[in-house]
Structure 1
Amino acid sequence: MESPHGAALSAEGFGLKGPRGWAFRGVEFTAGPGSLVAVEGPSGSGRTCLLLALTGRMRSTTGHAEVGGERLPGRLAAVRGFSALGPVPGVSELDPSLTVAEHLRERALLARRFDGSLRSLLRRRPGRAATARAAVGTALDAAGLDLADLPKAGRTSVRDLERLEALRLSVALALMSRPRLLAVDDTDLKLSAADRALAWELLRSLAAGGTTVLAVCSEAPKDALTVRTRPAAGPDTPADGTTTGDTPTAGTPADDTTTDTTTGKGTADAIAETGRA
């Protein structure tokens, strides 16, 4: 029997501490393949660090997590191999000076370069171009971005995109590597209520298609499995580590998980200490 495409997620006592405090700690949750997992909390509460740690881009310091059968923090490279980042400020941002088409072309070239398939390297140029066009088209369709709707189609500069359009482009770029886990930061930032609903509809559809989606937000939808982060009083404030209700699994409503975190300084220090990949 074929295994699910999406990566199952779980964490137990998962935490990350920098020189001046905790970025996050006491994370406990379980999510099956194809789940929509929302990391909810205010800015500076460790949401982005948790997202980066669960995708193998940051090394945790306490507890453990398991992503797609790979245990963290030990198997960082393996998790990076099947996860992809959508928009994450300072890590995977769009270049405002490039056009939409230039971003897509660059990502298609990278995807071919790191495909690892001998067949793809030996394929003749027309065949490679057709494969790249098909991959771009599939990713754009999945992200709900129609180039014909943009002011200058593919020649539209990223700086001229609306916030929701930029989010869709970032998601499309991430999908070109066919990830089992897609991570999106600041999902609802600067979106109107209508656009916020469309963004969650997009992520919900990707999860329904089998890709596990991990999305940072300030307010999670009710149908998401929600991991909540919250700022603590200071870098040494102890975590309560409590969880209300049963341990959440795929499809569980949003109220079942708590996460203790610390200040923005702790988050910034943790990023500087562990680095980004």
Structure 2
Amino acid sequence: MGTETEEQPHGAAVVADGFGLKGPRGWAFRQVSFRAEPGALVAIEGPSGSGRTCLLLALTGRMKAEEGHAEVGGLLLPRKMAAVRRISALGQVPGVSELDPAFTVAEHLRERALLQRRYDGSVRALLRRPAERAATSRARIEEAVAAAGLDLAALPKGERTSVRDLERLEALRLSIALALIGRPRLLAVDDTDLKLSDADRAEAWALLRSLAAAGTTVLAVCSEAPEDALRITTLSGEAVPAAPEAPASDTETGTTEATATGTPAAKPGAEGRAAADTTTGDADADQAAVGETAADDTTDDTTEEGAADALAETGRA
């Protein structure tokens, strides 16, 4: 019982200071600065191709940033990427952690529970009797399914429903349930509001708010952030944002914005200014993930396709 209690999730604080990721052909994102307390709901908003997914993956230790630094649960990025991966989990991220359409809901849940027990379990847990380990896995699954609001009985074929037959919102709930089996301190979800109706979008955000309220820090990529979230905004390479007028205390109240323009990033104003300029570029994530950059790349000009290339060139999109 004591071990299970210790494994209950407690959110990880996320701090970024001048965080940026660059490949040989430009910046995916740059000069991102914000602070999120444990249990915060952080919404990374912006149009497709503006560096949202790259930022999400960098903050969860899946891509290596090139400038600045970030801390997740006190773990410094990019130095402690492996440690950050251990305390974070990905929900749906196209090309990285997608659901298998041929699998049933039950197969996905059982597979994730087995992987969790095999690779992330303690030595003590591995020495338990098979029946006890199976009971623990079932309890983990039931807990995660309940937290994600996934009603198995309401599915067309119950837990035997194939992923291809799930509605968009139910697939989102399943991906979140799979991530929660590991009881992460940081949960990251891509394309949160993609192809959702207004009603389903409201349900999705209500779910993420409930997870944050329960103690897990949540990062969610979206096209439009809810007003109560800490907002990190990326803009396409063709958009020129207006200068924000946020007060210096915004980094503590959850209104930080990171913006991108089609020209080299403008420098932030006063020291206390909450907004930072982020450029989107043709970043090659395969090079960026291993810390390689092109020696002859001297341009900071960016295009909207930059962040998409950062994933596509590694087979992640």
TM-score of the superposed pair, with normalisation by structure 2: 0.80
1:170 to 144, 153, 175: 175
1:218 to 207, 215, 223: 223
CA distance in 2, matches of 1:250, 1:95: 39
Counterpart in 2 of 1:59?
A: 64
Q: Deviations over 1:148-167 (max 9, x none)?
A: 01000010000000000000
Residue 17 of structure 1 pairs with residue 19 of structure 2: no
Letter in 2 for 1:18: G
8 Å contact kept, 1:25–1:261: yes
8 Å contact kept, 1:18–1:273: no
What CA RMSD, in Å, does the superposition of the two structures yield over aligned residues?
2.5
Larger Rg: 2
Matches within 5 A, 1:182-201: 182-201=187-206
Counterpart in 2 of 1:270?
A: 310
- Secondary structure of the residue aligned to 2:305 is helix
Residue 77 of structure 1 pairs with residue 77 of structure 2: no
In the TM superposition, residue 271 of structure 1 has moved relative to its aligned partner by 3.5
Compared CA separation, residues 215 and 18, structure 1 to 2 (3 A): same
Q: Which runs of 5+ in 2 are unaligned?
A: 1-5, 258-273, 281-302
CA distance in 1, matches of 2:256, 2:62: 26
CA distance in 2, matches of 1:57, 1:275: 14
Compared CA separation, residues 268 and 253, structure 1 to 2 (3 A): closer
More deviation, 4-13/151-160: 4-13
Residue 130 of structure 1 pairs with residue 135 of structure 2: yes
TM-score of the superposed pair, with normalisation by structure 1: 0.91
In the TM superposition, residue 89 of structure 1 has moved relative to its aligned partner by 0.2
Letter in 2 for 1:57: R
In the TM superposition, residue 247 of structure 1 has moved relative to its aligned partner by 4.9
- Secondary structure of the residue aligned to 1:261 is coil
8 Å contact kept, 2:238–2:304: no
Residue 38 of structure 1 pairs with residue 57 of structure 2: no
Q: How many residues align?
A: 272
Letter in 2 for 1:252: G
CA distance in 1, matches of 2:23, 2:315: 11
- Secondary structure of the residue aligned to 2:219 is strand
Compared CA separation, residues 141 and 249, structure 1 to 2 (3 A): farther
2:278 to 260, 267, 275: 260
Q: Which runs of 5+ in 1 are unaligned?
A: none
